[in-house]
Amino acid sequence: MENTTQDTLETSDSKIVLQKNLTLFNSITLVVGSVIGSGIFISSSSVLKQTGSIGLTLIVWINCGLISLFGSLCYAELGTMIPSSGGEYIYIMKAFGSLAAFVRIWIELVVIRPSLNAIVALTFGIYLLKPIYPVISYMAVLSKVQIIETNAIAIVNYFSLFFIAARHDHMPMIINTVNTKFKTPIVAMIITV
């Protein structure tokens, strides 16, 4: 069974290497989709409520963007200094040893990622149910009957994305590109409105 995205076996060197299937456009949409994320749909209204003015909200967003930029530059520097695959695990292992790297990755796996996925899935459920329940809020979702519908939608969404990510074809990159194309105009509308 032949698959173009699977690992290929080189007969001359007899090593397994990965094929490079990302184009420049796919790479850009992957980075933009990672940078924008889903948090902007959750936190933008709460930042505006807490600050009370649009100008101060934009200043907060610009400052957070600068902090994010500095973090990205640190990761870029680490990536050029330590040319090994493994990301944060390798960086922490080189700096603090294998025990600290192991603990950090397990905390990421057991606590951080599931929490973030749950927040994104709940937010998706809330936005999907907004037309049905116009006055829905996070507290209403956490305390009323709507939690069943929101969680059901969140679970279906999460497992459908899991199925898409498990595919061997180009479907994950297509979904990422479409997702980025939808998120970017929405963010632009949030900023301009």
- The pLDDT tens digits for 22-34 are 778 777 777 777 6
pLDDT of residue 57: 87
Q: Across the chain, what does the average pLDDT equal?
A: 71
Question: Using CA atoms, how far apart are residues 137 and 146, in angstroms rounded to an integer?
Answer: 10
Q: Which two tokens stand for residue 79?
A: 């990536």
> Is residue 16 exposed (0-12), middle (13-18) or buried (19+ Cβ within 10 Å)?
exposed
Regarding pTM above 0.85, the answer is no
In this prediction, residues 101-118 reach a mean pLDDT of: 84
In this prediction, residues 48-64 reach a mean pLDDT of: 87
Question: Using CA atoms, how far apart are residues 180 and 174, in angstroms rounded to an integer?
Answer: 10
